[in-house]
């Protein structure tokens, strides 16, 4: 009997249990905290770490963790309920638009116009997502694009992994090479006490080199799959994925792109454009984005002349399709809840502080990169990791004769790299659930690329240290 790798739910529950067990052995500790006016948050004070009364997590805490993960915010992360609700609203919106036939007709038209040139969609789309990542840290909002792009990739004779990679690697490599991202670079630079523009040239170098590596990697994989579908890492799910993402494809290929459907597509594209503006320039977050797509759903329903009953049933059915993704988001957040309740976070930071103290410059910056990568697993939020680590780690660079902006670069690169595969990061697990790609297969797909990206980053920050 062939053993089957556990689902995302089982993996995440297993991690919750593992972290809970660790709270019985890892000493509980805390740093004193003070309010940083520039950040508007409390940050740890260097040199104030002390052990405190332990709070080991037991059976009840483990059971409650996925529930608390939805609504229990702490110092570093917002609650997951707003993200989960956003996903459900997006599901309803996509259900309404799909019902009109506009998406199917649009995909059919796009495939006919791009025939023979489909591969160029990959670098173009990855560039757009990378722009979102480097400018404003595109993450949770990228979940809205999976059910749009994956059907296009499968219709182009690629696979679901190609669609997932375009979005997750596109936005992820942009965040990895953040240039002006306010949720990573700006917060980290402020916490480190340097202008966020310091080191921006080096970050552009990392962004461009890593983007090129990702695009080449995805295009090579996609072409292999197109030539031989059996080389897909989800080849055994091909029929199932085609049935799920391309249901009614034969009918859709001949579906007429009527005036009504064209108007629906304009509203559809306009909704995403408004969302991107709202996040990058309007200060929006999940509540306003969710409200936007509710309004857009109603507008599409009116344009398509749907009855009230048909509209509400379709919206609920669409939300139901993404319910599993919403649950994954809350469970992933539960890991952080258990770790913080067990007072492990500051202890791990204290150990990291000791590990880099006294190292020469090149060794220091590479050790900083490695430690930030390890800490990213426990604190997947880029802003949370910046607030937690920069007040402690940035001053250490002064003793190693390393500029503080290099520490910021090492932090954001490590955080972005780990969050391409991080099971505690809801965007990863949610995106894979939407793409119907098992987690262990994503790891298999990503492993060679992670090695390549790690070498690029370590080489660039080492050179940056030598020429500073």
328-341 pLDDT, tens digit each: 777 777 877 888 88
The pLDDT, as a whole number, for residue 114 is 67
Within a domain: 31: no
Q: 43 phi and psi, to 5 degrees?
A: -130, 155
Within a domain: 275: yes
As a whole-number percent, the residues of the chain with pLDDT over 90 amount to 31
Q: What is the pLDDT of residues 401-427, one digit of tens each?
A: 888 899 999 999 999 999 999 988 878
Three-class DSSP category at 36: strand
Residue 155 CA to its chain's centroid (Å): 25
Within a domain: 93: yes
Q: What is the mean pLDDT of residues 206-233?
A: 95
The pLDDT, as a whole number, for residue 3 is 55
Q: What is the pLDDT of residues 350-373, one digit of tens each?
A: 888 777 777 888 999 999 999 899
Domain count across the chain: 1
Residues 330 and 71: their CA atoms lie apart, in Å, by 9
- Contact between 63 and 108 under an 8 Å Cβ cutoff? The reply is no
Counted residue by residue, the chain has a size of 468
Mean pLDDT (the chain) is: 84
Q: What is the mean pLDDT of residues 153-176?
A: 91
Q: What is the mean pLDDT of residues 16-34?
A: 89
Within a domain: 423: yes
The pLDDT, as a whole number, for residue 40 is 66
Residues 126 and 178: their CA atoms lie apart, in Å, by 15
Residues 216 and 279: their CA atoms lie apart, in Å, by 29
Which tokens sit at 89?
């609203």
Residue 467 CA to its chain's centroid (Å): 32
Within a domain: 14: no
Which tokens sit at 316?
């609920």
Q: What is the DSSP letter of 5?
A: P
- Contact between 167 and 140 under an 8 Å Cβ cutoff? The reply is no
Residues 40 and 66: their CA atoms lie apart, in Å, by 28
- pLDDT tier for residue 197 given thresholds of 50, 70 and 90: confident
- pLDDT tier for residue 161 given thresholds of 50, 70 and 90: very high
- pLDDT tier for residue 245 given thresholds of 50, 70 and 90: confident
- Contact between 140 and 183 under an 8 Å Cβ cutoff? The reply is no
In a 10 Å sphere around its CB, with 0-12 CB exposed, 13-18 middle and 19+ buried, how is residue 213 labelled?
middle
Does the pLDDT of residue 292 top 70, yes or no? yes
Enclosing domain of residue 183: 64-467
Within a domain: 27: no
Q: What is the pLDDT of residues 78-123, one digit of tens each?
A: 557 777 888 888 889 888 988 888 877 776 666 667 666 778 889 9
Does the pLDDT of residue 466 top 70, yes or no? yes
Q: What is the mean pLDDT of residues 438-450?
A: 94
Residues 120 and 125: their CA atoms lie apart, in Å, by 9
Helix (H) or strand (E) holding 41: strand 41-44
Q: What is the mean pLDDT of residues 378-391?
A: 80
Give Cβ neighbours of residue 317 (< 8 Å, ≥ 6 apart): 95
Within a domain: 182: yes
The pLDDT, as a whole number, for residue 108 is 67
Within a domain: 189: yes
- Contact between 178 and 203 under an 8 Å Cβ cutoff? The reply is yes
- pLDDT tier for residue 444 given thresholds of 50, 70 and 90: very high
Does the pLDDT of residue 128 top 90, yes or no? no
């Amino acid at each position: 009997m062939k053993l089957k790798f556990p689902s995302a739910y089982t993996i995440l529950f297993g991690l919750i249990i593992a972290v809970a067990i660790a709270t019985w052995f890892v000493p509980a500790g805390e740093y004193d905290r003070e309010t940083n006016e520039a950040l508007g948050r409390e940050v740890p004070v260097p040199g104030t770490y002390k052990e405190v009364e332990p709070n080991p997590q037991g059976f009840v805490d483990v059971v409650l963790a996925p529930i608390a993960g939805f609504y229990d915010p702490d110092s570093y992360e917002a609650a997951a309920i707003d993200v989960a609700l956003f996903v459900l609203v997006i599901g309803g919106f996509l259900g309404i638009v799909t019902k009109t036939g506009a998406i199917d007709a649009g995909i059919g038209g796009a495939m006919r116009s791009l025939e023979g040139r489909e591969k160029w969609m990959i670098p173009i789309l990855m560039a757009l997502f990378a722009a979102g990542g480097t400018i404003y840290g595109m993450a949770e909002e990228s979940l809205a694009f999976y059910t749009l792009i994956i059907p296009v990739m499968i219709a182009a004779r690629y696979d679901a992994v190609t669609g997932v990679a375009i979005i997750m690697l596109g936005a992820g490599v942009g965040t990895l090479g953040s240039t002006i991202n306010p949720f990573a670079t700006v917060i980290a630079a402020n916490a480190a006490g340097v202008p966020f523009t310091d080191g921006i040239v080096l970050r552009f170098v990392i962004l461009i080199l890593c983007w090129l590596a990702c695009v080449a990697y995805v295009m090579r994989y996609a072409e292999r799959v197109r030539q031989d579908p059996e080389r897909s890492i989800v080849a055994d799910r091909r029929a199932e994925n085609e049935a799920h993402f391309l249901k009614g494809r034969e009918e859709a290929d001949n579906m007429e792109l009527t005036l009504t459907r064209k108007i629906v597509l304009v509203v559809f594209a306009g909704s995403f454009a408004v969302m991107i503006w709202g996040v990058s320039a309007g200060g929006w977050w999940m509540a306003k984005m969710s409200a936007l797509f509710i309004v857009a759903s109603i507008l599409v329903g009116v344009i398509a002349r749907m009855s009230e009953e048909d509209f509400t049933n379709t919206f609920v059915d669409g939300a139901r399709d993404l319910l599993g993704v919403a649950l994954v988001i809350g469970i992933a957040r539960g890991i952080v809840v258990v770790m913080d309740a067990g007072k492990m976070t500051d202890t791990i930071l204290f150990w990291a502080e000791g590990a880099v103290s006294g190292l020469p410059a090149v060794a220091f910056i590479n050790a900083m990169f490695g430690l930030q990568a390890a800490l990213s697993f426990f604190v997947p939020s880029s802003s949370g990791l910046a607030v937690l680590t920069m007040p402690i780690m940035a001053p250490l660079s002064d003793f190693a004769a390393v500029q503080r902006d290099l520490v910021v670069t090492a932090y954001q690169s490590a955080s972005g790299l780990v969050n391409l595969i991080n099971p505690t990061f809801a965007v990863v697990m949610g995106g894979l659930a939407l793409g119907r790609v098992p987690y262990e297969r994503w790891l298999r797909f990503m492993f060679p690329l992670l090695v390549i990206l790690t070498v690029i980053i370590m080489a660039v920050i080492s050179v940056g240290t030598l020429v500073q």
